[in-house]
Amino acid sequence: MRNHHLEPGPETCHGSFSRDLAPVLTIDPGDTISFGTLDGDWLVESLPGPPPRHGAAVAWRRPGLDDGHALIGPVAVAGARPGSTVRVRFLEIVPASWGWSRVGGRPVEHDRRLGIDGGEAHYLRWDLDPVTGLATSNEGHRVRMRPFLGVVGVAPEESGRLSTHPPRRTGGNIDFKDLVVGTDLYLPVAVDDALVSFGDGHAVQGDGESGATAVECPMERVRVQVDLIAGLALDGPRARTHEGWVTFGFAPSLDDAAFDALSEMGDLLAERLGCGRKEAMNLAGQVVDLRVTQIVNGVKGVHAVVSHDALAMLAGR
């Protein structure tokens, strides 16, 4: 097992998903990678003064090519082939010293339905302290941080440059708040070498990302282990968190996203318990929680959760 390091820069960052992007690094399964990330909006510093002064962006962002989140990668995983599964294990996530959040002032459905589409956007600038684990806004609000990456994904099968904003079956902008240290994310490989990308640091976010942003921030340091899992073919992302196993659904409507997440959970329960699908779905009604992942990425997200304790009890019948 080898350790690798990447620094964000014009040679290692990109703003779209594409199967045609050349990898910036090739690793063997089981290797670890450490890297920093830019803020998802390509910001490198928080400007002084009261909001809404937003921040200064990098000069080397390429219009038309880097219109999405600032991602680092892609990283090629030797031996990854379509039909296999990549596991990303989060070992360390340290945010930078600043972040921001914003809501309102845009002619979009989210703001209109909440009655905040008029006037200026409301910004908060946040000071982030990895030692205390607290984020403090310029207005004096304090929240406990739970840092994670909003975007983790492998290259999609489709050709061309695809937006980073909607999540898809190969991951991407999942915005799942439990992708914290200790979580494993499983992604179905769609192209040779997988081509894994990372970015969109969040210092803290609630389920749903209901304010349209998290506390968006660069990451000072992220360390992950990337592995290939033999004999596991997935239709979409899965995660193993401290709480339990998680499946995801992504769709234009929350109803469709919920049924997709629940259907994937039915597959997981059937696999783990060695039972039929109807029995799995019967049990899901007793032990599975459905939660809204995010409502702000165009394609909405719902995740289904079964606790480790519940799964162990069912398996031990």
CA angle 87, 92, 94 (to 5 degrees): 135
Q: How many residues does the chain have?
A: 317
Q: What is the pTM of this model?
A: 0.96
For 21-119, where are the E strands, in sequence order? 25-27, 32-37, 43-45, 56-57, 71-77, 85-95, 98-103
The DSSP letter of residue 235 is S
pLDDT in tens, the chain (317 residues): 899 999 999 999 999 999 999 999 999 999 999 999 999 999 877 766 556 556 678 889 998 889 999 999 999 999 999 999 999 999 999 999 999 999 998 888 899 999 998 888 899 999 999 999 999 999 999 999 999 999 999 999 999 999 999 999 999 999 999 999 999 999 999 999 999 999 999 999 999 999 999 999 999 999 999 999 988 999 999 999 999 999 999 999 999 999 999 999 999 999 999 999 999 999 999 999 999 999 999 999 999 999 999 999 999 86
The span from the first CA to the last CA of the chain, in angstroms, equals 39
Q: Percentages helix, strand, coil for the chain, rounded to the nearest 5?
A: 15, 40, 45
CA–CA distance, 288 with 158 (Å, rounded to integer): 32
- What domains does the chain contain, in order, with CATH numbers? 3-229 (2.60.120.580), 243-315 (3.10.28.20)
Nearest to 37 by CA among 66, 67, 15, 13: 13
Strand, coil or helix: 16: coil
